[in-house]
Amino acid sequence: MKKKITVLPGDGIGPEVVNQALKVMKAVNYVYGHQFDCTTELIGACSIDATGSPITQDVITTCSKSDAIILGAVGDLKYDNNPGLAVRPEQGLLELRKSLELYANVRPIVTYELSNTCSPLKPEIIDGVDMVIIRELTGGLYFGKKHLSEDGQRATDLCVYTKDEINRVAKVAFELSMKRRKRLLLIDKANVLETSRLWRTCIEDMSRQYPQVEVDYMFVDNAAMQLMRNPRQFDVILTENMFGDIVSDQCSIITGSMGMLPSASIGKHSALFEPIHGSYPQAANKDIANPFAAILSVAMMYEHFELYEESELIKKSVEWALNEEFVTPDLNSTDHFSCSKVGDLVSLFIQENGEVRLNRDNLMLSGSII
Ligand code: IPM
Ligand code: MG
């Protein structure tokens, strides 16, 4: 299969984790004979430094003409605590999501034996969690009209949703529920927000087309608590942009590390694949970042291309690395590997189609593995 991919490594640890994801992609394409042509472009703080803008129109056009986009992360400390700045790295990502109409953000939350031991939650609470958050990505507070009064005393962010915007993402969630346990939960704040009441109306209407799907509703404050108390009760969660941003970071506690959660943003045309973690500038260039979220995002890309065997092989290779404890410091603080070495090992496993025999002790001593 031939595909055109735009690679946006971005800022902080973005380039490091994306490099590992690309190694894995190369290994998969070697095994299955696919040809993916990659173009690397700028987004975020590095784009501001080079062009003055967090994303240029040229880059948006390149992305829109590609089959998929692989993104690392955007953000830099120098922008974080400076509210006066008019240009920010995150605007690049938001503009890209809006321009490509990437309205459905799919965030699977799956636990693994090793990463479970890193979670502050008890094993009996998190073992076997397997859910998916569908976060609306191009509406709500993120994109509503923003205003700061001239005297700087009053600010507004408008939360707007139309029925069309809700219905198209709801359809993704209902379809996914049909393929899973046929249970769908809408997280909202319908006891307070008008937009949330519109979401409920849309979901209730659509549920008539999916009589097999059991639909439930939960206020976001209660959901935040339930997600920590008993996450196994959830299967497919649908929610609006801001709530989805918050609850998905919260769910990384279940998987033991922010570095474990991949995501896919699906739109009308091309799709974007990125880890949910941020740019983590404090860890940049140290080769310590966990590459699994980026690697698993590439697995989601193959799934999107309907290359299911390839996607499964990547997931299997990550499970293998976790079982062998070929992991970065976030998952094992005393006995760990570098980000690039974990990428090498996962790629090797794929290239050898799971037939790889590595001696952990030798690996700890030697610099190279191949
Ligand atoms: C995410 C991130 C982004 C968001 C930021 C970087 C704008 O936190 O993808 O979850 O808020 O959507
Ligand atoms: Mg976020």
Phi, psi of 264 (to 5 degrees): -130, 135
Atom of ligand 1 nearest to the CA of 93: 7
User: 245: CA distance to ligand 2 center in Å?
Assistant: 5
Express each pLDDT in 16-44 by its tens digit: 999 999 999 999 999 999 999 999 999 99
- Quote the CA–CA distance of 139 and 101 in Å, as a whole number: 10
> What pLDDT does residue 81 have?
83
Q: Three-state secondary structure along 196-228?
A: HHHHHHHHHHHHCCCCCCEEEEEEHHHHHHHHH
Instruction: Name the residue with tokens 């046929």.
Output: 182
User: 275: CA distance to ligand 2 center in Å?
Assistant: 10
pLDDT over 90 percentage in the chain:
89
CB-ligand 1 contact for 74 (6 Å cutoff): yes
Q: Domain spans of the chain?
A: 1-102+267-370, 105-258
Atom of ligand 1 nearest to the CA of 274: 9
> What pLDDT does residue 328 have?
96
> What pLDDT does residue 370 have?
44
Q: Which ligand is nearest to the CA of 44?
A: 1
CB-ligand 1 contact for 137 (6 Å cutoff): no
User: 266: CA distance to ligand 2 center in Å?
Assistant: 17
- The CATH number of 1-102+267-370 is 3.40.718.10
* pLDDT beneath 50, residues of the chain: 367-370
Phi, psi of 76 (to 5 degrees): -150, 145
CB-ligand 1 contact for 276 (6 Å cutoff): yes
Q: Do the domains 1-102+267-370 and 105-258 sit in the same CATH topology, yes or no?
A: yes
Atom of ligand 1 nearest to the CA of 263: 9
Chain center to CA of 319: 18
> What pLDDT does residue 352 have?
87
Phi, psi of 236 (to 5 degrees): -105, 125
User: 32: CA distance to ligand 1 center in Å?
Assistant: 33
- Quote the CA–CA distance of 143 and 108 in Å, as a whole number: 24
- The CATH number of 105-258 is 3.40.718.10
Q: Which residue CA neighbors atom 8 of ligand 1 most closely?
A: 245
Residue to mutate, 71, 79, 90, ligand 1, most ligand atoms under 8 Å from C-beta: 90
User: 9: CA distance to ligand 2 center in Å?
Assistant: 17
Atom of ligand 1 nearest to the CA of 75: 6
pTM exceeding the 0.85 threshold for the entire prediction: yes
Q: Would you name the residues annotated as active-site residues?
A: 142, 189, 221, 245, 249
> What pLDDT does residue 241 have?
98
Fill in the DSSP letter of residue 74. Answer: -
> What pLDDT does residue 288 have?
97
CB-ligand 1 contact for 95 (6 Å cutoff): no
Residue to mutate, 245, 279, 280, ligand 1, most ligand atoms under 8 Å from C-beta: 245
